[in-house]
Amino acid sequence: MKITGAVLETIGAASPYADSRPITVSELDLDGPGPRELLVRMEAAGLCHSDLSVVDGNRVRPVPMLLGHEAAGIVEEVGGDVHAISPGQRVVMTFLPRCGRCVGCLTGGVRPCLEGSATNERGTLLDGGVRLRRDGRLVNHHLGVSGFATYAVVDERSVVPVDDDVPPAVASVLGCAVLTGGGAVLNAGRPVAGQKVMVVGLGGVGMAALITALAVDGVEVIGVDGVADKLRRAEALGATAAYTPADAIDAGVSADVVIEAAGNVRAFETAVQLTGPGGTTVTVGLPPPDARSSISPLALVAGGRSIVGSYLGSAVPSRDIPIFADLWRRGRLPVEELVSSTISLDDINVGMDQLADGSALRQIIKFDKD
């Protein structure tokens, strides 16, 4: 079938991307679903730093590649071996499919799926195939999803069904920002009543961590970011305090659980410095592969501090997305507050510029049913 999608043509183009236009909106051919796959009509997709990291070259992937991994849509068709998902269901995309049998999948979310990680690196679906073509040439998949398109074929292990009452924009954000940031709080940080949680880096993932921490009874939440508008938004959402990194250090504040969600060395080192004795630093940001950090091992040992890496929020999507959907349903998790704007597919390069300059939380692409 013919679809329209946003294809990254080259990696590492000069910014602003509105001028260099590394992403083109193209007509592509999409094969039908294989035995364990689904055809999904996209309803909404969010722009995330994991998309930007491919555009700017921090995460090298094979191009051309149809981008987009944070998305939600309606199942239109299922393969012959799919029995748990039916046409007409709304599904949330997840960017790390789980094979269910490797050593990573047996850790309850602590480690990524080995097979899913390998296929994501190669730009294929979980069975190793590619379902996208343009002018007869293959176009690679992004993280098993390729959600910046009118339709996608995905493996059934790349989606989680949600009830119809979850709006498309909310459903899309559950699959990455909330799963990553919120999962880092609940699965890796595990704060309890009476503790303080601090979030360093208040982009989409960091703000998702903040609202998740606010949903934990009896927990005090502090936001840290260099952008004044994000600090004001954190306080409006319920944070007891919000600081720039320098002000937080000068004030001597600390927390029992510190979530680092900025994805750069300085933010990571700041998060460690702001972690109190006996506390845990949870890092979810993805800095460039060659980034290196300097911290004091003595401060870890003498203060009984821990550092935990958390990929995809240490989550099992099929387990955790329903938990977050229920928190949203009960008014405990205002996911809508993460959406800073709605854009069209044609605005994709401008959207990447806004991600890069830190002015946006979550920009949502909405697709018309036509």
- DSSP-derived pairing of the beta strands 37-46 and 70-78: antiparallel
Question: C-alpha angle with apex 263: 260 to 265, nearest 5 degrees?
Answer: 90
The reported pTM is 0.95
Please identify which residue in the block is written with the tokens 């503790």.
195
Predicted pLDDT of residue 360: 84
Instruction: Report CA 257 to chain centroid distance, whole Å.
Output: 20
Q: Which two tokens stand for residue 56?
A: 């700017």
Predicted pLDDT of residue 70: 97
CA–CA distance from 114 to each of 288, 314, 336 (Å)?
A: 21, 14, 33
Per-block mean pLDDT, blocks of 10 residues, the chain (370 long): 98 96 98 98 96 93 97 98 97 93 93 94 95 97 98 98 97 97 98 98 96 98 96 97 98 98 95 98 93 93 96 95 98 96 96 91 84
Cβ neighbours around 28 below 10 Å, total = 22
The helix or strand, by DSSP H or E, that contains position 17, with its residue range, turns out to be helix 17-20
Query: Using CA atoms, how far apart are residues 272 and 198, in angstroms rounded to an integer?
Result: 11
Q: Which residues of 320-331 are buried (b: 16+ CB within 10 A; e: fewer)?
A: bbbbbbebbeee
Query: Using CA atoms, how far apart are residues 162 and 244, in angstroms rounded to an integer?
Result: 37
Q: Residue ranges of the alpha helices (H) in 202-264?
A: 204-214, 228-237, 245-251
Amino acid at 50: S
CA–CA distance from 344 to each of 6, 43, 45, 143, 318 (Å)?
A: 11, 12, 10, 21, 29
Range(s) of the chain covered by CATH 3.40.50.720: 181-311
Over 152-166, what HEC string results? EEEEHHHEEEECCCC
Between helix 228-237 and helix 204-214 the angle, nearest 10°, is 20
Predicted pLDDT of residue 347: 96
Range(s) of the chain covered by CATH 3.90.180.10: 2-164+334-366
End-to-end Cα spacing for the chain: 14
Q: What is the DSSP string of 72-110?
A: EEEEEEE-TT--S--TT-EEEE-SS---SSSTTGGGTTS
Query: Using CA atoms, how far apart are residues 208 and 182, in angstroms rounded to an integer?
Result: 6
Predicted pLDDT of residue 370: 44
Residues 6+ apart with CB under 8 A from 297: none
Query: Using CA atoms, how far apart are residues 260 and 271, in angstroms rounded to an integer?
Result: 6
Nearest to 52 by CA among 6, 100, 99: 6
Predicted pLDDT of residue 369: 60
The CATH fold assigned to 181-311 is Rossmann fold (3.40.50)
3-state class percentages of the chain: helix first, strand second, coil last, to nearest 5: 35, 25, 40
Q: Give the SS3 label for residue 41.
A: strand
Could you tell me the sign of the dihedral formed by the alpha carbons of 324, 329, 330, 334, in that order?
positive
The CATH fold assigned to 2-164+334-366 is Quinone Oxidoreductase; Chain A, domain 1 (3.90.180)
Cβ neighbours around 115 below 10 Å, total = 20
Predicted pLDDT of residue 368: 73
Q: Is 2 exposed, middle or buried (0-12, 13-18, 19+ CB in 10 A)?
A: exposed
